Amino acid sequence: MAVQINPSILSADFARLADEAKAVEGADWLHVDVMDNHFVPNLTLGVPVVESLARATDTPLDCHLMIEDPDRWAPQYVEAGASSVTFHAEAAAAPVRLAREIRAKGARASMALKPATPVEPFEDLLPELDMILIMTVEPGFGGQAFLDIMLPKIRRTRELIAKHGLSLWLQVDGGVSAATVERCAEAGADVFVAGSAVYGADDPAEAVRALRASAEAATSRAAWACAHGGPRSEGGASAS
């Protein structure tokens, strides 16, 4: 199982996004938080900024849509250049149809769950997805403290993935840092979104490398990963 590190530009300098993207070119993806001030109490950026960012970096974009009506808007983010698009289960009217549309347009389809949303009701939808995101804070703002009570949910999600024999990525987002990444990896996560832990560091690229090393070490000890032959390192991800 490959460990992937996705720096979140929510913690970057929005006036220097192209430079901030270059500062983490060793990352697997660049995580882009799209918020509409309705689904979550914050407002960030939209399609035009994603288009510009896609032209400014070779690192694939992982767009996390914390917005209402993702059924309408998600396909536009694929067209804007996103290689992975995540919609929230709590906001999507037709998640299977939406996931299939995202995939048909050439991107990876992902579904996110807020901390209070259980994963079990969505078990039958998992084969329609390329990734599932377990939020480890309440979505809306960066810099929040990691919610340890999400670790059992990460474990249950990994068990469901194994139960169905899926090659589904399990992403965690919120409070991921040097202090928490190992616990997330041991619980079953293999894709890690990190904002302030990367962009708040003196050397963002080194922070990415350190997080990857810690996650890989923890994964190598985890029972769930041992059953799949242990972790492997990827020097970048593709949209396929």
Residue ranges at the known binding site for a divalent metal cation: 31, 33, 64, 173
Cross-strand pairs, 171: 133, 191
- Count of C-beta atoms within a 10 Å radius of residue 52: 14
Count of other CB atoms within 10 angstroms of residue 48: 9
Rounded-to-integer distance, Cα 197 and Cα 96, Å: 33
Set 28, 33, 36, 130: catalytic member = 33
Candidate list 36, 62, 130, 173, residue with the active-site label: 173
Binding residues for substrate: 8, 64, 140-143, 173-175, 195-196
36 classed as catalytic: no
Query: Is 33 part of the annotated catalytic residue set?
Result: yes
Q: Catalytic positions, please?
A: 33, 173
